[in-house]
Structure 1
Amino acid sequence: MELVDYHKDVLPAENAMILRSVLRAGRSLKTLDFIEGYPSNLLIEEFSTFYLARIAVFKHSSHVFDMEDNIRDLLLKSPLTSNGQPVTNFRFADSMHEPGIQPSDVVVGVLGKMHSYFTIRNEMRWPKIGRH
């Protein structure tokens, strides 16, 4: 909540209000099933899949990513191409100089974890039926 309030000028007022409402609602939950049972203070261990997927899926968009040395090094080590042309629609930036990066990291992290949780729950509820 404090991070949202601190960066309130970055988000449109309605989006900030919705995000605050979601965070307030989360405070009253007895458990946080989709983030409990994992190492403390670790939402997602490795992000390279998210970077690569966004670059590939939204190839006509410009992407500004938080400076992650290991991801940047991975992309420099194996440069991305599309139809034989280098992919250049992304860059890494210091979140201290681009204030929208930190709140978006939190939101994307929570959404990614929630997606994983729902996928696992759905698979448990509807097990795959094999052919005999």
Structure 2
Amino acid sequence: MTEHSPSPTPERAVNGFVLYLMSIVALGLYVVWAYVPDSWLHALGLTYWPQKYWAIAIPVYLCLVFLLGYPLYMGLTLMNTPPLTSTNTITDDFSREVKQDIPKNAIPPIGDMSISDVNRLMYLNNPG
């Protein structure tokens, strides 16, 4: 099984070039659709095009969805966050206790402190 890496490969180069060409063609079609009068398009035999209204409406709708997506995502995150009075903000199923059997000069491993230790360190004048 091969490991995925971000390094350039010939397949990625070809895919990127094809996507680049497709985006240029799509931009060209959009500009022709938006700016060329319908009478000219009908003279060329191109009779089925969406209304010109959608040339402005689709980009405006996409910008609106993009701009409203951020507040919506932030609101959903805040709705799913437990309140500060919940015990789920103190500990959960993934919390790890700090090991006490480490050498004196060693850096302690990452772990969750108990709420009583936090209160003792923060609110008592002489922790001991």
TM-score normalised by structure 2 residue count: 0.31
Higher relative contact order (CA 8 A, sep 6+): 1
Which structure: larger Rg?
A: 2
Return the structure number with greater strand share: 1
TM-score normalised by structure 1 residue count: 0.30
Return the structure number with greater helix share: 2
